[in-house]
Structure 1
Amino acid sequence: MTKRLLWLVFAFLSGNFAFAQEEYYFPGEKFDPSIPSPSQYLGYPIGDWHTRYDLIVKYFEKLDQISPLAQLQTIGYTHEHRPKVILTIASTPNMGNLEQIRQKQLQLADPSQPKPDVDSMPSIVHLGYGVHGNEPSSAEAAMLTAYWLLASQSDLAKNLRENSVVHIDPTLNPDGRDRHSLWANSNKGFPAVADPLDREHNEAWPGGRTNHYWFDLNRDWLPLAHPESRVKVEWYHQWYPNVTTDFHEMGTNSTYFFEPTKPYGSENPVVPRKNYDDINPRFAKYFAKYMDQIGSLYWTKEVFDNSYPGYGSTYPDIHGGLGLVFETASSRGHLQASQRGDISFAFTIRNHVVNSLATMEAALDNRVYMHDYLREFFQSAVAEGAKDPAKNYVFGDEFDESRNRLFVKFLLDHKIKVYENTADLTTSGQSFKKGKSWIVPTNQPQYRMVRTMFEFEKEFADSVFYDASAWTMAAAYGMPFSSAPAAKAGTEIKEAPKANPTFPEGKAYAYLIDWSDYYAPKMLFELQKAGIHVESVHRTFSSQTQNGKIDFPAGTLMIPMGFQKLKAEEVSAKLKELAAKNGQKVYVVQTGLNLSGIDLGSNLVSAVQVPKVLMMVGTGINANEAGEIWNLMDQQLGMPMTKVNTEQFGRINLFDYNTLILPSGSYNSLSEGQVNHLKDWINRGGTVISMKNASLWLNQKGITKEAAVELEKETKDPDSLPFNTRNDFEGAKEVGGSIYLAELDLTHPIAYGYHRKTLPVYRNTDIFIKPSEDKYLTPIKYSANPHLGGYISKTNLEKLKLSAGVVISSVGQGRVVHFFDSPNFRGTWFGTNKLFLNAIFHGDNMD
């Protein structure tokens, strides 16, 4: 039997459900029979199963193979090596002219170039689906939308094919989607079970929302901590779509949400008002029309955030397009009971399908308008940047070349123009050295992203935030920076500077490595892994090196050649290799007698323990925070770390480890015997790194005895308030995510590698703990006026001023290092990562 005949037989046998599918999702439509529908290709009705990601990709590959109007592109891979794909659909002439269309779109977004004829330019639409893996309806909708756009014989579909270029990303988070799909499919009942308590509707920890490292990728368009986001943003800047969608799910008892979001309170401060006051309402009329046609309930404006730049629906708003968030009630499985009756998976899919079509129609009808807006957006950005009194921002850390390189690359990835600083510069009391600092002018097309990177916002129209209220990325990188109106920019930087450390030749008494660089901890771990003995110098000193006299800070690594198991030439060769790999400067000394400070054989020099790290994870633990730690250890340090579920704690011999990490969460499942084992281990010398409310649990169990901050005259709540003010009144008390200035004890091991007494830190908790009763063990507290950016209530700010950022609790021969800020937040707080890594490598010296 020929392949063609086989296909006809299959099409005949599957025709009944295929027709039913088309009637449910596209009533009255006629389709090109040469294009297989998703149900025909997969062999089951869409909505009957959660489709695996590889099958979604294969369906798109099929469309690419059989239709000249479809082109599939792989733009990158996830952590678990699933392909990230974009399916582009356009008419035959436009498909043949795709590169010229793209170049015209880029020209439109560049005010320095002549404006192209927008009347003849197709609308550029990007339909993005499934950033949260356990919000699965959107990826199914992606397949149906692609099918409709290619096969529908309607006038609208034909018009769209002729006058649009539509890019479809079926799943922004393939790893999370497959985690959820496996759960939903393997727990499906026959018949389906609608009871919300059924196992199908309640995923095991950490659930499918997040990616491999348990990160929420809908927060990663700005940080670019993960490959999924990096390739997506790189692709975005190749097109600057006029419209970008971001499809989600919400609670089962909800209906459907589309923009506008909450006026003023949820809006980003750099986005022009035209986006919110004119464009959003224009498009909302189309969504309402399509939802009215199928009788689905919907709402707008009440909640959901459009301010944080890392959202897939906000990042486009800061780039001259329209970002749109959609939320449908979720079946969280195949069928789930709700207040309006049972919600089916197919119902949730259809809601997203119709709004996909509505988006394309709205974009098409407003094609010229949106092209004009794209040009207007970047023209106004340049004009506003030219008037900004800052004129320039200068940044750079003279002690940390790796972090400089990371930040320069980060700015370039967001298409921000960066220039060399050609002269030593002092501004706002800070000094920036030529060759170790860079200049970012405000007069550039990406001016609004420049503001995102360098401005602190403190004034808000609202006091309740769906997410973070601060995102100043220069602070996240711990980067010294300042406005610099008089700065003169040098050559434009096209790529981040590369490390080129020189290695000293000849015999050595010892080698020294400054701990100041971001990748010094990675270098240390790789040295230890190679069997090289490494010590840490716990006081400042000066040595005669191959570069003359060098002043070294406390925390400097020392490799004494007289105490190595490897041969001298093997140590030198490995050291040279790792220094080049990690961009580390290595110094050589010929004597242990230093020019000043302690000598290299001092009792204030000690071996660095090889970390043996265990982290508790599982039910009750904050998966995002645990993922941030896991990601740091894997991606930045390259160090394996054991992750154990809390229910397995009874099987652990803690004495196989020297460091235990307790992310925020509940540990009440641990038995009395397990808690006693923990106490014994700490008393005998173990180090616990405890995050936020994990510290409250340690206090509760009597392991530590730290005290909460209490104000002498704290304002009491009114005895009675209107019921409808409850969310706003209570929400205003939360610290959802904001930036503060902390003060460091630079002599304490937690601060090794830092040279400034103050450091921006990120806080997203309302846990306020007093400084330690031991006057030496509060190495990080807040400055007198700590608030840098984001929202905080007056009462919480007063508590914060009396609080500690890090407290060390001595427990027998061991200790607990308490973190009350978020040193690893979203994989992008490079400025505070070393605080956490110091607790790992130098924990035994903390108290």
Structure 2
Amino acid sequence: MKQWCTKHWRAGLISAAVVLATSTAPALAQTDNTPAGYSGGTNIEALTLDYYMPSTLNVTFDERIPTPREVLGYEVGQWHVRHDQLVRYFEILAEHSDRITLEETGRTHEQRPLIIAKVSAAQNNDRLEEMREAHMAVSDPSQNVNAAEAPLVLYLGYSVHGDESSGSNAALILGYYLAAAQGPEIEEWLANTVILLDPSLNPDGLARFAQWANQYKSMTANTDGQHREHIQDWLRGRQNHYWFDLNRDWLLLQHPESQARIRTYQQWLPNVLTDHHEMGTDATFFFQPGIPSRKNPLTPDENVELTGLIAEYHGEILDEVSSLYYTEESFDDFYYGKGSSYPDAQGTIGILFEQASSRGHMQDSVNGLVSFPFTIKNQFLTSLSSIRGSHENRAALLTYQQRFFKENMELARAERFDGYLLRESQDGARMQELLRILKAHRIDAYAVTESFRVNSETYNPGEAYFVPITQRNYRLLKGAFSTQQEFPDNTFYDVSAWTLPMAFNVQFEEVRRSRRFNLSDTPWAGAEPFSGNTLEDTRVGYIFSWEPYFAPRLLAQLQAQNIHTRLAATEITVSTPSQGEVKFPRGSVIVTRAYQSKPWSEVQAQLQMLADNNEIPVTTIARGLTPTTGMDIGSRSIEPAQMAKVMIVIGDGVNLQESGEAWYYLDRHVNIPVSLVETDRLTRVDLSRYTHILMVDGWYSGLNEAVRNRLSQWVRQGGTLIGQKRGAQWMTENNLLNAKVVSSEVLREPFPTEGLTYADRDHFYGQQRLAGAIFGTTVDLSHPLMVGYSRADLPVFKNSTMAFENNTAPFVDVARYAEQPVLAGFTSQGNRDTLSQKTAIVAHRLGRGRVIGFADNVNFRAFFWGTSKLLSNAIFWSPYIAASAGEEDEAEAAAAEQEAHSH
């Protein structure tokens, strides 16, 4: 057995303190900031595992369990662990320890394994499933079990932001401790407890940051905050492969990392979940509870009380090593899509930890040196205090969880409505994705089985679903469908609305079951298998509608196979062999037998396969002559679809997440190859290769006149420039987009400063901020950008006050905010009044090209499927934008139009 020597451990601290006192290195505010064995305060080569171990735990260690150093070849904290090394160490722990069972739960976008280490006493190894079932019975309101005797379940999760890596490195030490430590307390911890240890919530980001920090590491630590080691490039380690913040995806479930994590969470419903992060270098250490008034109103007050109870244990263990910390001052627990808030909606105590970051191996701060080992130590110690605090309060945690779900049912029965009725008649894909997310969160929905009418609306089978409010996950459901607009505390760290049906542009309303309608007896379990297309023989071709969400992807896939496709700009009625006359809305796609460069049988086979894969119905056209007045199949108004070649501007100044969201949508949902070009290369790249260029939100003030001139020339020669938020604003400032952004002076008008005191400062600025709400817009359905949309009311996500003044030129404004714009979330009355009926989308011709401006992020966090299709429309349907915003442009556009149709 290895015995941790408290005397040696304390002596190490004393000797380190002596060295620091006589060194020329900067003095430390806390002696424990620097590990034992440091030379001159900056050499971490003498670091040993002793440094991390608390003196209050009287344990020995099983010598059969390899230490991290024995596997990695270095001590934890000397280098940033790579994800492959992290996984390998846990594999070795599972091989050597009868306490650990390792499970791969999924794979990241970059195919890194997502792992969970299930830790419990050796005698529980063969009964983990039995323990899980006994624990889950606590949360089942229909069962009346003795909660206090049930197994306790903890979920310890680390580094969802990959460059906040002290958490994942601490997981190495925690894994070793849980596998090797021997003593009365840990044996008692594990006897009737299962610990789910998730060492890396974001493997792709962690790997990216480990490579960055390690490649700039010197033998002699450089503590200068301006040193390259501490300043990442534009693409940081925080995000995942597609540059998303995975700590915003717990509810939305658009990424494999989140989907795997929530499967595990829902299988176990832990009593406590820890979420280990980092913050600015000049801070200390934060743990919850945070500001009490900033929790979600649906979260019980008892949740905060229990969080505070466990916080006592964090304070105690950090006081032991003289580590400074704070609580109840920062952050919030409002948005149910974050790691520390999602659990609060389900009877779990979610706890956020934020450690001042070394962002490398050692860095100067206002408090002295912040070393990487020190940051790891705090994360490890509070992991132990989380386990200890949970164990010593197990009865309170388990009975709280049982009571939570029973209260859920009681609160649901007291509601003035019975559930939500969902309806989407045009596009099954958006509805199915919404239902998939609900099912993943154990929220049941039931299919409508017979048609019925309510308020002049018809609800048909296959288009309508009912989500009862009385179910176990009532609070999470209520939060996901909330349209609340006023809150006790209107200061938000993140967003104030995330209403899922609005994001998917699915109609929904609260209803009573007294409106009698028939439902399926069983909850929705997944989409019905697509029946497949039957492509009949034809001399003319086939047609499909643009209304399905994945119609753009089908078109892009057909183009990739060199299949000739044509776009019908107006509605068309076609003759079919077996269905008679069928009317298609504007924007349909036609695959004609004419102009194909490959055998027709091959075209038919590929069209059927791709259409079936995308679950899009395809109709056979029997005759080229349409049966009614209007276009025939060979009409000049049905033009060949252009192959899109898209560039997204990225790099310094550009919003990393918004560019990633656009890349993700075009890559995953549309299957268009996307070229990512940095701002500093815009003067050199060959712009003629691209048909469309997208500028998302960002600071573009660094772009020089040469870039502006190149983009202007490119557009006038036929390109389409798309701007989003401040990307669109840059276009207006450089005379590319003929629109006027609502000025800062106009935005400030509703907020007078007279009579204010300094105490009013936070409220004054908070009222002017728009921290993520859902706005209603009224769209022009006849505009080319709105092809495939059937309702004039479109919800958009708005997290800035950016808007356009109404354009004096006709046919340029595509969408305007509603008179009463806010649908969900907090927006001050001043901002409501200012943004009411302002323009949200602008589009017009410029020379031979087009320019399009979006005031909002149409791809917000990848779950706003209701607006993301606007980007596809801006790509495939931009050639049909004919309106011009000025006389000069009108004349130039008319000349181009005449030339195009002169022969």
The letter for the 2-side match of 1:634 is D
Between the aligned partners of 2:201 and 2:529, the Cα distance in structure 1 is: 31
Match of 1:267 in 2: 295
In structure 2, distance between residues paired with 1:406 and 1:125 = 30
User: Is 1:616 matched with 2:646?
Assistant: no
| Whole-angstrom CA distance in 1 between matches of 2:805 and 2:180 | 66
1:82 is aligned, of 97, 112, 116, to: 112
Report if aligned partners of 1:540, 1:597 keep a CA contact under 8 Å in 2.
Answer: no
Provide the residue aligned with 1:551 in structure 2: 583
- Contact residue 214 and residue 623 of structure 1 kept, 8 A: yes
Aligned to 2:885: none
Q: Indicate whether 1:813 and 2:837 are aligned.
A: no
CA distance in 1, matches of 2:699, 2:289: 37
**2:263 matched to which residue of 1?**
234
What residue number does 1:573 align with? Answer: 605
C-alpha distance in structure 2 between counterparts of 1:385 and 1:497, whole Å: 30
Amino acid at match of 1:499: F
Deviation at 1:459, TM superposition (A): 1.0
Aligned to 1:339: 366
Offset at residue 604 of structure 1 (A)? 2.6
Matched, 1:73 2:106: no
The answer to whether the Cα contact below 8 Å between 1:76 and 1:83 also exists between their aligned partners in 2 is: yes
Structure 1 residues 766-796: Cα deviation after superposition (integer angstroms, max 9, x where no partner): 1121132222011111121121011112221
Measure, in 2, the Cα distance between the counterparts of 1:198 and 1:726: 35
Question: Partners in 2 of 1:438 and 1:802 — Cα distance?
Answer: 33
Change (3 A) 1:366 1:548: farther
Give the 5 Å matches for 1:465-504.
465-485=492-512, 486=515, 487-492=517-522, 493-504=524-535
Asked if the contact 1:313/1:323 (under 8 Å) is kept, the reply is yes
Q: Single out whichever of 542-551 and 66-75 deviates more from structure 2.
A: 542-551
Structure 2 counterpart of 1:789, from 821, 824, 830: 824
User: 1:10 corresponds to which residue?
Assistant: none
Cα drift, residue 597 of structure 1: 5.2
- CA distance in structure 2 between the partners assigned to 1:179 and 1:233 by the alignment: 24
- Following the alignment from structure 2 to structure 1, what is the Cα–Cα distance between the partners of residues 214 and 347? 40
Check the 8 A contact 2:47/2:78 in 1, yes or no. Answer: no
- Aligned match of 2:793: 758
Match of 2:188 in 1: 159
The question of whether the paired residues in 2 share the 8 Å contact of 1:427 and 1:484 is answered with no
Is 1:60 the counterpart of 2:90? The answer is yes
Q: Out of 201, 224, 227, which is 1:172 matched to? A: 201
Any conservation in 1 of the 2:135–2:151 contact (CA below 8 Å)?
no
Equivalent position SS for 2:326: coil
**CA-CA distance at 1:689 after TM superposition:** 1.1
- 1:665 shift after superposition: 1.1
**Residue 721 of structure 1: how far off its partner (Å):** 4.2
Q: Secondary structure at the match of 2:387?
A: helix
- SS of residue paired to 2:806: coil
Instruction: Tell me if the contact between 1:283 and 1:362 (Cα under 8 Å) persists in the aligned partners.
Output: yes
Task: Say whether the 8 Å CA contact 2:543–2:589 is kept in structure 1.
Answer: yes
Amino acid at match of 1:832: T
Mapped pair 1:105 → 2:169: no
Aligned to 1:562: 594
In structure 1, give the amino acid aligned to 2:386: T
The DSSP-based 3-state class of the residue aligned with 2:520 is: strand
Answer yes or no: is the 8 Å Cα contact 1:772–1:808 preserved in 2.
no
Report SS of the residue matched to 2:275: strand
594-603 vs 761-770, greater mean Cα deviation: 594-603
Give me the whole-angstrom Cα distance separating, in 2, the residues matched to 1:483 and 1:290.
Answer: 49
Report the Cα distance in structure 2 between the residues aligned to 1:674 and 1:607, rounded to whole angstroms.
31
Q: Which amino acid aligns with 2:565?
A: V
Kindly state the Cα deviation for residue 652 of structure 1 after the two structures are TM-superposed: 1.1
Match of 2:80? Answer: 50
Amino acid at match of 2:607: L
Find out whether 1:588 has 2:620 as its counterpart.
yes
Give 1:518's aligned residue. Answer: 549
Let me know the Cα RMSD of the aligned residues: 1.9
- 1:184-236 deviations in whole A, cap 9, x for unaligned? 11111221111111111100011000000000000011110100000110111
- 1:370-449 aligned at under 5 Å gives the runs 370-427=397-454, 430-449=457-476
For residue 689 of structure 2, what is the aligned residue in structure 1?
Answer: 656
- Cα drift, residue 518 of structure 1: 0.5
Q: Amino acid of the residue matched to residue 324 of structure 1?
A: I
Amino acid at match of 1:450: L
Distance in 2 between residues matched to 1:748 and 1:427, nearest whole Å: 30
Question: What secondary structure does 1:822 align onto?
Answer: coil
| From 545, 562, 567, the counterpart of 1:531 | 562
Structure 2 unaligned spans of 5+:
1-35, 38-44, 883-903
Aligned residues: 830
- Residue 54 (structure 2) aligns with: 26
C-alpha distance in 2, partners of 1:131/1:328?
Answer: 13
One-letter identity of the residue aligned with 1:699:
T
Partner of 1:669 in structure 2?
702
CA 1:357 to 1:211, structure 2 compared with 1: closer, same or farther past 3 Å? same
SS in 2 for 1:563: coil
1:712, CA displacement in angstroms?
A: 10
Q: The residue matched to 2:363 in structure 1 has which SS?
A: strand
1:749 aligns with 2:784: yes
In the TM superposition, residue 663 of structure 1 has moved relative to its aligned partner by 1.2
Contact 1:31/1:151, CA 8 A, preserved across alignment:
yes
Preserved contact between residue 813 and residue 842 of structure 2 (Cα < 8 Å): yes
Q: Report if aligned partners of 1:541, 1:595 keep a CA contact under 8 Å in 2.
A: no
Superimposed CA distance per residue, residues 539-594 of structure 1 (whole angstroms, 9 cap, x where no aligned partner): 12322323233221111111222232223222222211111111111111222333
Instruction: Give the TM-score, by structure 1 length.
Output: 0.95
Provide the rounded CA distance (Å) in 2 between the counterparts of 1:759 and 1:177. Answer: 38
For residue 716 of structure 1, report the CA deviation from its aligned partner: 4.7
The answer (yes or no) to whether the contact 2:548–2:788 under 8 Å persists in 1 is yes
Aligned with residue 736 of structure 1, among 725, 750, 771: 771
How big is each residue's C-alpha offset from its partner over 1:35-90, in whole Å with a ceiling of 9 and x where there is no partner?
22223332222211111111111111111011111111111110111100011111
Residues in 2 aligned to 1:407 and 1:501: alpha-carbon distance in whole angstroms: 22
- What amino acid is the match of 1:568? W
Q: 1:595 to 1:483 in 2, by over 3 A?
A: farther
Structure 1 residues 420 and 186, CA gap change in structure 2 (3 angstroms): same
State the partner residue of 2:29. none
2-side partners of 1:260 and 1:413: how far apart? 28
Partner letter of residue 680 of structure 2? E
Give the aligned partner of residue 7 of structure 2.
none
1:502 CA drift (Å): 2.6
- The 2-side partners of 1:89 and 1:59 are apart by 15
**Residue 312 of structure 1: which of 331, 334, 339 is its match?**
339
CA pair 712-703 structure 1, distance change in 2 beyond 3 A? closer
* Aligned mates of 1:109, 1:713 — CA distance in 2: 49
- For the residue of structure 1 that corresponds to 2:268, the secondary structure is coil
Deviation at 1:423, TM superposition (A): 2.4
State which drifts further: 101-110 or 665-674: 665-674
The 8 Å contact of residues 482 and 497 in structure 2, kept in 1 or not, is answered as no
Q: Which residue of structure 1 lines up, in the alignment, with residue 807 of structure 2?
A: 772
Task: Confirm or deny that 1:639 pairs with 2:669.
Answer: no
Counterpart residue number, 1:35: 65
Q: 2:168 aligns with which of 139, 143, 147?
A: 139
Rounded to whole Å, the distance in 2 between the matches of 1:327 and 1:347 is 13
Q: State the alpha-carbon separation in 2 of the partners of residues 428 and 93 from structure 1.
A: 61
Secondary structure in 1 matching 2:498: coil
CA contact (8 A) 2:105 2:114 kept: yes
SS at match of 2:546: coil
Deviates more, 1:546-555 or 1:652-661: 546-555
1:355 to 353, 359, 382: 382
Alignment of 1:208 onto 2:243: no
Give the Cα separation in 2 of the matches to 1:428 and 1:140.
58
Is the CA contact 2:818–2:837 (under 8 Å) kept in the aligned structure 1?
Answer: no
Structure 1 residues 319-353: Cα deviation after superposition (integer angstroms, max 9, x where no partner): 11111100011111111111110110111111111
User: 1:704 matched to which residue of 2?
Assistant: 737
Q: Which string of whole-angstrom CA distances, capped at 9 and with x for unpartnered residues, describes residues 687-726 of structure 1?
A: 0111110122122222233113365993353157444543
Q: C-alpha distance in 1, partners of 2:465/2:52?
A: 58
